[in-house]
């Protein structure tokens, strides 16, 4: 990842490798704004090389055993610790059919080497508009568990991401887990278009659940605006089932209604075209 800066070295910092959550929280309390947490370090180290971040203390959470677990909690869902790498999550087999959208999104993150280091929590906390996990997590109504000096709190991923590179987290707080709720009978899928870039130019995460009498659908678009965006108008068209006509109408509606941005990677109008293409692809696959 390079933003064109001439730096190849890291700024000076003190590296911490705590063994327990209490130690991590104590280090955050001690160093506050001066510290940055590190999961896989894929994003953090790149940002530090570019001098986009210059923490004087880096707190590596990979050795904290309680953050390295994936737990299936009956009646609650799947709890994924902050030190679990994307590769471990994919290989562990914990992502079931109803979480297919997350499995498909993570399987296409970067390359095997990066997936071995990078964590799901790090990917989410980066909150760069074009990373892939946030739309998938939002489609599954996932939440994050936050620990800090005031205790613990839980919030939906959709509330956690406030803006580009902006998450709802205090300087002394950390994310300990991502929680994907149980949802029997849910079907979900992910699609993205990169056009040879490192990152998505547009992505879509879909989930359709059959809870009770009414089906509910979510269509969450990533990489098209500063945060992931849903398209309720297109969701209504597919909540009672999919057919070729519904797929075409949903794809056209999403392309028309989802607000897109111009940036260095693509124009807004190209992104609108991509939305139509990837929505058709992903829904066709789910028919
Ligand atoms: C060549 C390349 C290709 C890439 N391709 C893709 C791609 O296809 N799709 C995609 O989605 N991403 C892609 N990425 C981005 C990459 O996946 C992310 O940088 C990575 O997932 C971040 O995870 P990490 O564990 O390494 O986070 P880190 O780099 O350790 O941390 C990232 C940020 O999250 C914070 N953080 C980490 N852990 C916590 C915590 N527990 N609580 C609070 N804050 C925390 C850090 O302080 C930092 O600000 C690519 C990156 C590169 C270099």
The Cα-based distances of 193 to 189, 198, 234, 265 in angstroms read 14, 10, 20, 12
**3-class secondary structure for 62-112?**
CCCHHHCCEEEECCCEEEEECCCEHHHHHHHCCCCHHHHHHHHHHHCCCCH
Is the CB–ligand 1 distance for residue 40 below 6 Å?
yes
Mean residue pLDDT of the chain comes to: 94
Is the CB–ligand 1 distance for residue 123 below 6 Å?
yes
Please tell me the CATH superfamily of domain 187-286, with its number.
Answer: CO dehydrogenase flavoprotein, C-terminal domain (3.30.390.50)
User: For ligand 1, atom 14, which residue shows the shortest CA distance?
Assistant: 110
Mean pLDDT for 252-275 is: 97
Better pLDDT: 72 or 171: 72
Q: What is the pLDDT of residue 223?
A: 97
Q: Which CATH number fits domain 14-60: 2.130.10.10, 1.10.3720.10, 3.30.1380.10, 3.30.43.10?
A: 3.30.43.10
Whether residue 222 contacts residue 205, with contact meaning beta carbons closer than 8 Å, is answered with yes
Determine the distance separating the centroid of ligand 1 and the alpha carbon of 269, expressed in angstroms: 28
Is the CB–ligand 1 distance for residue 122 below 6 Å?
yes
Determine the distance separating the centroid of ligand 1 and the alpha carbon of 177, expressed in angstroms: 15
Whether residue 146 contacts residue 175, with contact meaning beta carbons closer than 8 Å, is answered with yes
Q: What is the pLDDT of residue 212?
A: 59
- Residue 13 clears pLDDT 70, i.e. is over it: yes
Mean pLDDT for 257-284 is: 97
Mean pLDDT for 181-192 is: 93
Determine the distance separating the centroid of ligand 1 and the alpha carbon of 118, expressed in angstroms: 6
Q: What is the pLDDT of residue 155?
A: 98
User: For ligand 1, atom 40, which residue shows the shortest CA distance?
Assistant: 175
Gyration radius of the chain over CA positions:
19
Query: What is the DSSP code (8-state) at residue 130?
Result: T
The residue written with tokens 């390295």 in the block is: 68
- Kindly report, residue by residue over 112-157, the tens digit of the pLDDT: 999 999 999 999 999 999 999 999 999 999 999 999 989 999 999 9
65-181 placed in CATH 3.20.20.70: no
Q: pLDDT band at 5, cuts 50/70/90?
A: low
d(CA 131, CA 237): 27
d(CA 132, CA 109): 7
Is the CB–ligand 1 distance for residue 114 below 6 Å?
yes
Write down the domain spans for the chain.
Answer: 14-60, 65-181, 187-286
- Ligand 1 atom having least distance to the Cα of 82: 41
pTM summary value: 0.96
With the most atoms of ligand 1 within 8 angstroms of its CB, the residue from 3, 32, 39 to mutate is 39
- Kindly report, residue by residue over 210-245, the tens digit of the pLDDT: 765 567 999 999 999 999 999 999 999 999 899 999
Determine the distance separating the centroid of ligand 1 and the alpha carbon of 117, expressed in angstroms: 9
């Amino acid at each position: 990842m390079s933003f064109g800066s001439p730096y190849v070295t890291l700024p000076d910092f003190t590296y911490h490798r705590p063994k327990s959550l209490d130690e991590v929280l104590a280090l955050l309390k001690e160093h506050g704004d001066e510290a940055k947490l590190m999961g896989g370090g894929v994003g953090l180290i790149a940002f530090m090389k570019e001098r986009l971040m210059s923490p004087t203390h880096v707190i590596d959470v990979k050795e904290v055993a309680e953050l390295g677990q994936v737990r299936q909690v009956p009646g609650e869902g799947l709890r994924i610790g902050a030190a679990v790498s994307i590769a471990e999550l994919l290989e562990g087999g914990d992502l079931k059919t109803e979480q297919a959208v997350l499995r498909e999104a993570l399987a296409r993150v970067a390359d095997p080497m990066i997936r071995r280091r990078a964590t799901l929590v790090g990917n989410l906390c980066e909150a760069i508009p074009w990373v892939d996990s946030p739309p998938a997590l939002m489609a599954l109504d996932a939440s994050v568990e936050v620990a800090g000096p005031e205790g613990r709190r839980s919030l939906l991923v959709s509330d956690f991401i406030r803006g580009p590179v902006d998450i709802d987290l205090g300087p002394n707080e950390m994310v300990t887990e991502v929680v994907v709720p149980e949802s029997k009978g849910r079907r979900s899928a992910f699609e993205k278009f990169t056009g040879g870039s490192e990152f998505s130019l547009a992505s879509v995460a879909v989930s359709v659940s059959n809870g009770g009498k009414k089906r509910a659908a979510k269509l969450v678009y990533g990489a098209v605006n500063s945060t992931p965006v849903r398209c309720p108008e297109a969701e209504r068209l597919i909540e009672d089932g999919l057919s070729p006509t519904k797929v075409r109408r949903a794809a056209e509606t999403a392309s028309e209604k989802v607000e897109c941005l111009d940036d260095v990677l693509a124009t807004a109008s190209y992104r609108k075209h991509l939305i139509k293409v990837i929505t058709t692809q992903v829904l066709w696959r789910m028919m």
